Structure 1
Amino acid sequence: MKRLPNATVGHRSRHTHFSVLYAAVFTIVAIASAGSPLAAVAQDWNQWRGPNRDGIVSETQLPTKLKGNLKLLWQKSLSPSYSGPVVRDGRVFTTETIDKSTERVTAYDVESGDLIWTVQWAGAVKIPMFAASNGDWIRSTPVCSKNNLLVLGMRDVLVSLDPSTGDEQWRVDFPATIGTPLPMFGAVSSPLIDGDSVYIQTGGPLCKLSLADGTIQWKSLFDDGVENQGAFSSPTIATIASVRQLVVQTRDDLCGVDMESGDPLWKEPIESFRGMNILTPVVIGDRVFTSAHSGRAQMFEIDRDDTGQWTIDELWSQKTQAYMSSPIVIGKTIYLHAKNQRLVALSIDDGAIRWTSEPFGKYWSMIGSKDRFLALDESGELLLVAADDQEFKRIDQYKVAEDSWAHLAIDGNRLVIRDLSALKVFEFQQ
């Protein structure tokens, strides 16, 4: 294990097995975002990957079967969006891009589908021809606290709205304000609220803003290389080595960042194809897991000594390559939808592949509990899968959409599905 000065890039050292000290650390509570600021409302899926940004809910929130158990409560026809719907205080919020020129945000009553408000503004990005099949509509998933709904548009403009009325509170145009380039594929990263602050990976640096008025408080992790601008990942918060910090993935590096100053605490280069580091980092105690397109699956242990020196230790590394789907962790197993379109169950302890499934779609969004998880692929197939570390067990499967790249959301006993042409809310019984 190599000691690292504060705010410097780490050097890997390889280990084949975990320390015995950490072998027992496998509870779901330790998975991610310790002390998450938005976790107080347990039933609200109010941000990217849910209340703790880890895709995990209690077992009472997931159905035990799908066929004959999902009832469509309501649906609304909409223009395209890749943004996941979010739910807060009985309202569901969704985005859309209209006629490749306008971005719209709409709030519905989650139970009845009644329209509460809708607002829109000019905003669009033309995606390069080689990536045109991925669409040119809004991508970032909003985040909603009690008094603020934050929406990041394709042109890297962050807008704060009143969740009750849709009234605009403030906006920050990052390219105009800090001189960063317009993201080639449109802004992707989903903003994060913590107390009175907002954290967002822009088309340039990681930024901290005031939630009250959008004032930029610091900028960090800026890379002058235009080719690598615009993070594909989204930040999370975790307590690692007793220090609460942001955990972020740039196009090149996995990083821990001081939340007050913006200073990098530790940094680790991540191998990938053209900077396609897309996963939200998964934090398990003092360990961080990630995987990348044309890279590797890697588990790191992060530590800090009494003098403030940080260390990064690569505990294991293996061949599984992720693509766009962030994994979930249940028990001592990482469930990762890989670039080869198969679900892979990886051992937390040593990275061993416990099993590999048959091929599915290109993208999965997953919500897990103690013993099972839901997975929605881009074709609209919803799967219910057992959290079994010995074999792939599909409990049930049901078609809920036609073309869905937005993250699945859940609100009590309701599933919220956003496909390219509609928002749908299903009700289920346990």
Structure 2
Amino acid sequence: MHLSRFVACVLFAGWVVPHVVAQEWNQWRGPSRDAQWAGSSFPTKLTGNLKQVWEQPHAQSYSGPVIRGDLVYTTETVDKTDERVTAHRLDTGDVAWTATWPGAMAVPFFAASNGDWIRATPICDAEHLIVLGMRDVLVSLDPTTGDEQWRVDFPAQLGTPLPSFGAVCSPLIDEGFVYVQTGGALVKLSVTDGAVVWKTLENAEGMMSSGAFSSPTIATLGGQKQLVVQTREELCGVDLATGQPLWREKIEAFRGMNILTPTVIGDRIFTSAHSGRAQLFSVSKAAGGDWVVDEIWSQKTQAYMSSPVVIDDTIYLHAKNQRLIALSIEDGSIRWTSEPFGKYWSMIAAGDRMLALDETGELLLISANTEKLEIIDRTQVADNAWAHLAIHGNRLIVRDLSALKVYEFDE
């Protein structure tokens, strides 16, 4: 991976965050894929302190914006026929380049209300911008010019099924390789030329089992660096070199709606699924070499699409019932439950505060309070905002269904 790593493991917000990279919002949920931000302080208030720098119109997309250097990248589905990537100058909003290819598809009628446009958030390093399109085609672009470097059509080249709801997984880059969940398997590729190294966790075809909704992360568990990934049915640890599953844990989910990115807390992993349960697992390696997965606690809270953030000893989860819920890491007890908000939140944590973008476009500044929901301030920044919020220095980057917007705040 071309991004420099400044430590293998740092103490942050009271718990251990593995594999922290330089602070640049270059991928899904930020530098370490856990929505933790150490690049700057959040503002003390939003009202009167948040100024829009620029706005550029775009067609629909659910994929979050990513930043590398002085460029911010976004995707869109154009005229229900093509997918387009655009690089904007972060300071001015000027278009640096665009790249377009055929790539649209229609989702099943019962999911049409959730849109049929590109979903996966790209990832960018110094030499590659990796984009997964709706039709399970992975494209590598030069991040400076937009020139195509390589592409892999997974259904055509690997024979994997086309995901019924469109490809969702946000790819991950680590040490010269790309990892992504396709319509039929978890795949490792060379970032240099797209050559497939291995595929694993293959699943049967079918609307309820193929095409994972979750995105992978990397963690060191039981002393071994590994890929942590959720299929439609399981939470798994995968050997990075061989693709061999190290351990697997069944996750209850309605129609395979196992969506959250796994939240790694030291040697523990938190997850929750639609119509399932909230669970915390410990992962360790026994003296004989066998992997041991123990459920530390399990309780009734059901997630939907919003991955949580962790601050100190508390998990903050926007749940299926549209409420923010504070869960104790120690025993899973519910510390408090808020009133309902929208259907989706993207959240970023920094120190003892978090920013949350509601799908209605309302931005909330929240204090990490274990006694009650404490909203410091709130303001409207977008409309229909299902893409993940991004941050760069003292700038917030917001992507709604019609535009990319950049705001600036006083630090």
The question of whether the paired residues in 1 share the 8 Å contact of 2:123 and 2:129 is answered with: yes
Please state which structure has a larger fraction of its residues in strand. 2
CA deviations over 1:276-295 (Å, ceiling 9, x no partner): 00000000111000000000
Using the TM superposition, give the Cα deviation of residue 389 of structure 1 relative to its aligned residue in structure 2, in angstroms. 1.0
- The 2-side partners of 1:59 and 1:165 are apart by 27
CA deviations over 1:386-424 (Å, ceiling 9, x no partner): 011111100000000011100000010000000100000
Aligned to 2:290: 309
Structure 2 residue 35 is the aligned partner of structure 1 residue 35: no
1:268-283 to structure 2, matched below 5 A, reads 268-283=249-264
Structure 2 residue 75 is the aligned partner of structure 1 residue 90: no
Structure 2 residue 54 is the aligned partner of structure 1 residue 70: no
- The 1-side partners of 2:11 and 2:193 are apart by 40
Which deviates more, 305-314 or 137-146? 305-314
Aligned to 1:414: 395
CA deviations over 1:204-239 (Å, ceiling 9, x no partner): 100000000000000000012423100000000000
1:377-388 to structure 2, matched below 5 A, reads 377-388=358-369
Aligned to 2:4: none
CA separation of 1:349/1:59 partners in 2, compared to 1, >3 Å: closer, same or farther? Answer: farther
The question of whether the paired residues in 2 share the 8 Å contact of 1:59 and 1:370 is answered with: no
RMSD: 1.2
CA deviations over 1:127-155 (Å, ceiling 9, x no partner): 11101000000000000001000000000
Using the TM superposition, give the Cα deviation of residue 48 of structure 1 relative to its aligned residue in structure 2, in angstroms. 0.1
- The ranges of structure 1 where at least 4 consecutive aligned residues each deviate by more than 6 angstroms after the TM superposition are none
The question of whether the paired residues in 1 share the 8 Å contact of 2:14 and 2:313 is answered with: no
Using the TM superposition, give the Cα deviation of residue 306 of structure 1 relative to its aligned residue in structure 2, in angstroms. 2.8
Using the TM superposition, give the Cα deviation of residue 31 of structure 1 relative to its aligned residue in structure 2, in angstroms. 5.0
Structure 2 residue 304 is the aligned partner of structure 1 residue 323: yes
**TM-score when normalising by structure 2:** 0.96
1:279-290 to structure 2, matched below 5 A, reads 279-290=260-271
- The 2-side partners of 1:133 and 1:383 are apart by 26
CA deviations over 1:260-315 (Å, ceiling 9, x no partner): 00000000000010000000000011100000000000000111023211111000
Q: 2:56 is aligned with what amino acid? A: K
SS of residue matched to 1:120: strand
CA separation of 1:358/1:26 partners in 2, compared to 1, >3 Å: closer, same or farther? Answer: farther
CA deviations over 1:163-192 (Å, ceiling 9, x no partner): 000000000000001111110110000000
- The 2-side partners of 1:35 and 1:408 are apart by 21
Identity of aligned pairs, percent?
A: 64
> Structure 1 regions of 5+ residues with no counterpart?
1-24
Structure 2 residue 127 is the aligned partner of structure 1 residue 147: yes
- The 2-side partners of 1:182 and 1:61 are apart by 42
Using the TM superposition, give the Cα deviation of residue 29 of structure 1 relative to its aligned residue in structure 2, in angstroms. 7.2
- The 1-side partners of 2:300 and 2:347 are apart by 22
SS of residue matched to 1:177: helix
Structure 2 residue 250 is the aligned partner of structure 1 residue 263: no
Aligned to 1:51: 31
Q: 2:164 is aligned with what amino acid? A: M
> Structure 2 regions of 5+ residues with no counterpart?
1-9
The question of whether the paired residues in 1 share the 8 Å contact of 2:128 and 2:140 is answered with: yes
- Corresponding pairs, count: 401
- The 2-side partners of 1:363 and 1:132 are apart by 17
The question of whether the paired residues in 2 share the 8 Å contact of 1:381 and 1:400 is answered with: yes
The question of whether the paired residues in 2 share the 8 Å contact of 1:282 and 1:290 is answered with: yes
Which deviates more, 241-250 or 302-311? 302-311
Structure 2 residue 351 is the aligned partner of structure 1 residue 375: no
Aligned to 2:344: 363
- The 1-side partners of 2:357 and 2:42 are apart by 14
- The 1-side partners of 2:164 and 2:360 are apart by 26
The question of whether the paired residues in 2 share the 8 Å contact of 1:327 and 1:366 is answered with: yes
Using the TM superposition, give the Cα deviation of residue 30 of structure 1 relative to its aligned residue in structure 2, in angstroms. 4.3
SS of residue matched to 2:255: coil
The question of whether the paired residues in 2 share the 8 Å contact of 1:69 and 1:428 is answered with: yes
1:89-168 to structure 2, matched below 5 A, reads 89-168=69-148
- The 2-side partners of 1:348 and 1:215 are apart by 40
Using the TM superposition, give the Cα deviation of residue 336 of structure 1 relative to its aligned residue in structure 2, in angstroms. 0.1
- The 1-side partners of 2:222 and 2:178 are apart by 23
Aligned to 2:335: 354
- The 2-side partners of 1:223 and 1:348 are apart by 32
SS of residue matched to 2:40: helix
Given candidates 309, 319, 334, the residue that maps to 2:315 is 334
Structure 2 residue 170 is the aligned partner of structure 1 residue 186: no
Q: 1:122 is aligned with what amino acid? A: P
Aligned to 2:378: 397
**TM-score when normalising by structure 1:** 0.92
Using the TM superposition, give the Cα deviation of residue 115 of structure 1 relative to its aligned residue in structure 2, in angstroms. 1.0
